[in-house]
Amino acid sequence: MDSRWKDEDAARYVEVARAAGHSEALGLRIYTSRIVGGDPDLVLHGGGNTSVKVKSAEGEDLMHIKGSGWDLDTIEAPGLPAVRLAPLLETRNGPKLSDPDMVSLLRASLIEADAPNPSVEALLHAFLPFAYVDHTHATAILALADQPDMRDTIKRIYGNRLAYVPYVMPGFDLSIVADRIYREHPDCQGLWLENHGLFTFAKDARASYELMIEFVTMAEEELARAGVRLGGPQPSDGEEDSALTARLKKALAGDDSPFAKGVFLDYRSTVAIREHAAKEDVEAIGLRGTVTPDHVIRIKPWPLVIEANADEGAINGALADYADRYRAYFARNAARSNEPKHILDVYPRLVLVRGQGIYALGANAKAAKIGGDLCEQATRAINAAEAYGRFTPIGESDLFDMEYWSLEQAKLSVATA
């Protein structure tokens, strides 16, 4: 993976920030956020987050942190709202915060009351004692992060440069655990989050960004050593079956469907997708879960799998089976929850056609395209993970907790609005 840093571009962002009355640090944070967001093999559609710590004109410690609903590739100053750092740091040694309490604290710490909600990982950004912090869900990282028992392998690849963080639910718990692990490894340059992604940090914008590029490149090299070629994003070059598309649209138009008023389909058939769709056990692989936890709020826990020649009856039957499976999944996991959960709709967001391609479903064209982009990246990560070892994402209970996490549902609502 190549660095996209250019001195002249960085200088231009600094100039623009100063002209708008912002700090040089925020200008550089916007610049490196955008070059992170501009690479689909680092983050996609609201994924990842970035921050920078600064001092106000009065000398108060502040942190600009990505706001919910913003994409890194188009982020501007309002998408990096400033929060007071002191109240966030106080939570490090305080009592456990519930999700609503954490959100209330973050909102109360905002400098501008009408700013977007700070990222749910804001506390972790605050705890790390560096000016710049970057977090991504890079494809190569996911191919390795979604493997069982990788602690020793990560140590072999990165030595002491990365500290290993076992999977913990994002939010307050992850912030506390990751902070503890960082303090146990104070010389590390990043955090490897099992089944999740990668954090890097440094005193300046370029160093933090280029550590991210270096560590992702090292993951790519580890895959290559194992004979796995990940490759970059691929164009969709497979032919769509218009008759199958029509049958699928008709089947999705039921009265109880979220698509009753119309469904948008984004069909993708790339080399990687066809390789994945041709696997005999593709349905079993899909049932393991998503490549990174937050994908579940966009594309559900697993895809619907149909045959290339599926007629209307077969599609309706597959949808009914999917609904039954989803209801059973909900019942199993809602029963152990400490708070009441209300089931979401029981329709898929991805339909995989064996040997052919994948349809991403959405209530509008944008939602369908987002699903298509996610599945394009995910299939490359899954193919690489299976070729390297075994694709092993978070388990069902953790996936459910993410899908029905109020903070993730709120993020989706903001993005939709």
Answer yes or no: is 261 within a domain. Answer: yes
pLDDT of residue 358: 98
Sign for the pseudo-dihedral over CA of 300, 137, 10, 30: positive
pLDDT in tens, 351-401: 999 999 999 999 999 999 999 999 999 999 999 999 999 999 999 999 999
211, 254: one domain: no
Say what the pTM is.
0.94
DSSP 269: -
pLDDT of residue 146: 98
Residue 414 has pLDDT above 70, yes or no: no
Answer yes or no: is 234 within a domain. Answer: no
φ/ψ of residue 159, rounded to 5: 60, -135
Asked which of 225, 251, 280 is the last residue of a domain, the reply is 225
Domain span at residue 277?
242-416
87, 200: one domain: yes
Q: What is the mean pLDDT of residues 280-308?
A: 96
Tally of domains in the chain = 2
- In whole angstroms, give the CA distance from residue 316 to residue 392: 30
Four-point Cα dihedral 180, 183, 184, 188, nearest 10: 120
Cα radius of gyration rounded to whole Å, the chain:
21
417 — pLDDT class (breaks 50, 70, 90): very low
295, 167: one domain: no
Contact at 8 Å (CB) between 338 and 346? Answer: no
Q: What is the mean pLDDT of residues 109-118?
A: 95
Asked which of 195, 225, 255 is the last residue of a domain, the reply is 225
Strand partners, 197: 193
Sign for the pseudo-dihedral over CA of 361, 366, 372, 377: negative
Answer yes or no: is 275 within a domain. Answer: yes
pLDDT of residue 94: 92
pLDDT of residue 114: 93
- In whole angstroms, give the CA distance from residue 116 to residue 107: 9
134, 68: one domain: yes
Q: Percentage of residues in the chain with pLDDT exceeding 90?
A: 91
Contact at 8 Å (CB) between 17 and 3? Answer: no
Contact at 8 Å (CB) between 335 and 346? Answer: no
Answer yes or no: is 255 within a domain. Answer: yes
Answer yes or no: is 277 within a domain. Answer: yes
Pairing between β-strand 304-306 and β-strand 350-353 as defined by DSSP bridges: parallel
Pairing between β-strand 190-193 and β-strand 162-165 as defined by DSSP bridges: parallel
75 — pLDDT class (breaks 50, 70, 90): very high
Q: What is the mean pLDDT of residues 3-14?
A: 98
Q: What is the mean pLDDT of residues 56-69?
A: 95
Answer yes or no: is 233 within a domain. Answer: no
* Tokens coding 52: 């920078």
Average confidence score pLDDT of the chain: 95
250, 388: one domain: yes
Instruction: Give SS3 for 416.
Output: helix
Contact at 8 Å (CB) between 109 and 15? Answer: no
Residue 79 has pLDDT above 50, yes or no: yes
Contact at 8 Å (CB) between 119 and 134? Answer: no
Give the number of other CB atoms < 10 A from CB of residue 56: 12
The b/e string for 265-288 (b: 16+ C-beta within 10 A; e otherwise) is bbbbbbbbbbbbbebeebeebbeb
82, 203: one domain: yes
Helices 7-19 and 24-37 pack at an angle, to 10 degrees, of 130
Residue 209 has pLDDT above 50, yes or no: yes
Check which CATH number belongs to the domain holding 148 and give it.
3.40.225.10
pLDDT of residue 254: 81
Q: What is the mean pLDDT of residues 332-349?
A: 92
DSSP 96: P
The b/e string for 18-27 (b: 16+ C-beta within 10 A; e otherwise) is eeeebbbbbb
- In whole angstroms, give the CA distance from residue 394 to residue 406: 19
256 — pLDDT class (breaks 50, 70, 90): confident
26, 58: one domain: yes
Answer yes or no: is 290 within a domain. Answer: yes
Answer yes or no: is 75 within a domain. Answer: yes
pLDDT in tens, 149-208: 999 999 999 999 999 999 999 999 999 999 999 999 999 999 999 999 999 999 999 999
Indicate the residue type of 355: G
Asked which of 225, 258, 279 is the last residue of a domain, the reply is 225
198, 316: one domain: no
How far lies 49's CA from each of 118, 133, 324, in Å?
10, 8, 36
73, 103: one domain: yes
Q: What is the mean pLDDT of residues 227-250?
A: 95
207, 287: one domain: no
208, 328: one domain: no
Within 8 A by CB and 6+ apart from 168, the residues are 174, 177, 178
DSSP 92: G
199, 341: one domain: no
Q: Give DSSP secondary structure letters for 184-202.
A: HSTT-SEEEETTTEEEEEE
